[in-house]
Copies of this chain bind each other. A is one copy, B any other.
């Protein structure tokens, strides 16, 4: 099942994305020049629909109807018996990056904490940044540990050793 829309251009949050294939999690990642590590950073969990993951393993790139979900969760320390480090808590926001030829190709959607994602205008920085810096097909595959070597082997990795 590919991406589902409502009201023309809004993306419906996939109810089961937490059961999709996990790609990575980062903590406090920023791309802003000169950024400092945050005192209270967020985790970024990334999931992809399983069919797209399987296609990537075979081809080194994303098929049409790929849906990448970025789930931003707060972090905390000293939870339960934790004495150091940080664990995850509630969802702060969700975003999606969707490849859908029937909707003009790759597009970003912002859900906040809701169930419907608003299309981000193509003029926003996320588009140009992903275009310039995404290792595979405008996606930040350089941060997806299980896919980096696949993309390099398939010759689809941009800016790496191939």
- Chain A interface residues (CB < 8 Å from chain B): 18-19, 21-22, 24-38, 41, 43, 45, 47, 50, 53, 73, 75, 79-91, 129, 133, 135, 140, 142-143, 145-146
Contact = CB atoms under 8 A, between A and B. Distances in A.
B27 A45 contact: no
B85 A26 contact: yes
B28 A25 contact: no
Copies in the complex: 2
24 contacts: A18-B146, A19-B50, A22-B22, A22-B45, A25-B43, A26-B86, A26-B87, A27-B43, A27-B86, A28-B85, A28-B86, A29-B84, A29-B85, A30-B83, A30-B85, A31-B81, A31-B83, A33-B83, A35-B83, A37-B85, A79-B143, A80-B143, A81-B129, A88-B143
Contact of A83 (B32, B45, B129): B32
